[in-house]
A and B are shown apart, each in its own frame.
Chain A
Amino acid sequence: EAGVAQSPRYKIIEKRQSVAFWCNPISGHATLYWYQQILGQGPKLLIQFQNNGVVDDSQLPKDRFSAERLKGVDSTLKIQPAKLEDSAVYLCASSPNSGGSNQPQHFGDGTRLSIL
């Protein structure tokens, strides 16, 4: 099966600019996750979708971050305006069925964002 696809792989922007990331999960996977991974740390969940509904966005900085999952398939994550502290790798993952912690998550290779 094809894996989780993410684009772009790299993005460099200046602070206060906006940026968007795209994710295509594994076909048929109901649950989609966006993680932020700062250098030297583990991934931190930003938002979790079940089909096209938000399950958890408690750690999403909603004043600048937004995400949507149209038709329960692809998803985009947007940052506007970006801050220096947003420099990180943004990982998308998906899992089948109802998600949660009792099944593996499948990760894309991420988008490395650098803020100048």
Chain B
Amino acid sequence: SQQGEEDPQALSIQEGENATMNCSYKTSINNLQWYRQNSGRGLVHLILIRSNEREKHSGRLRVTLDTSKKSSSLLITASRAADTASYFCATDARTGGYNKLIFGAGTRLAVHP
């Protein structure tokens, strides 16, 4: 399985601090995606990073990818209470001529005012 595994499982920080979440995977990928899920809601796409990219930014989000270590990290800078959510990485897996996403178990982030 190419399932990504997030670390830590849970993270608790104060508003204004930075939050870093890591994702490790087992086999080669074409790309990796990060999603956010607020309690009781569906997943929201954050960033897609391709295997030939090392870093991508989107607002307060920074994603890095190290294919030699088979790992990715998601950094949220200057966190806000509204960032409280679960964050999932998803890697691609080839099956029957199509690629599908395999999601990890997620990191639960709590940002306290």
Contacts and interface: CB of A to CB of B under 8 A. Distances in A.
Contacts of A64: none
Interface in B83-112: 88, 90-93, 95-96, 98-106
A56 B102 CA distance: 13
A18 B6 CA distance: 35
Nearest to B96: A56
Nearest to A92: B42
A11 B101 CA distance: 27
Given A4-B42, A102-B30, 17 more contacts: A41-B105, A42-B104, A42-B106, A43-B43, A45-B101, A55-B96, A56-B98, A58-B96, A93-B42, A93-B43, A99-B98, A100-B92, A100-B99, A101-B33, A101-B101, A102-B48, A104-B33
Interface of A: 4, 40-45, 48, 50, 55-56, 58, 91, 93, 99-110, 112
Interface string B49-75: 010000000000000000000000000
Interface of B: 30-31, 33, 40-45, 48, 50, 88, 90-93, 95-96, 98-106
Contacts of B106: 41-42
Contacts of A91: 42-43
State the majority secondary structure of interface residues on A: loop
A104 B48 contact: yes
Contact of A100 (B45, B98, B105): B98
Given A56-B95, A101-B31, A107-B43, A42 B88 contact: yes
